[in-house]
Amino acid sequence: MLSEVLEFGMLFAFGFSWPFAIARTYRAKRVDGKSPMFMAIVIVGYLCGIAAHLVEGSKLWLCWVYLVDMALVSTDLCLYFHYSVKNRRNDKQGGVAS
């Protein structure tokens, strides 16, 4: 039981930061300093965590927490690709990102 609580705490702590990152990206409409590779690695890590629980057949409720965290990271990754295209286009035209 303690290991479940600690794992949940880790997932909550990691997941808690992503809404702030998403909001910052959405407000700024810039992705300078963001790393799509880092976000992809985080998603792979979450997939490994889910797979471990599915193989083990225990603590399946934690898979839902992994999925929520994965959805948050995926949202930020989608925003990265959306705004990186717009940023490149605007930078080539000499304009300001909108």
Residue 95 binned pLDDT confidence (cut-offs 50, 70, 90)? low
Spatial distance between the Cα atoms of 36 and 43, rounded to a whole number of angstroms? 11
How many CB atoms sit inside 10 A of residue 46's CB? 24
| Segment 3-34, tens digit of pLDDT | 999 999 999 999 999 999 999 999 999 998 99
Instruction: Tell me the C-alpha to C-alpha distance, in Å, between residue 88 and each of 4, 22, 24, 81.
Output: 44, 20, 19, 11
pLDDT band at residue 94 under the 50/70/90 scheme: confident
- What residues does each domain of the chain span? 2-93
pTM of the model: 0.84
Fold of 2-93: Monooxygenase (1.20.1280)
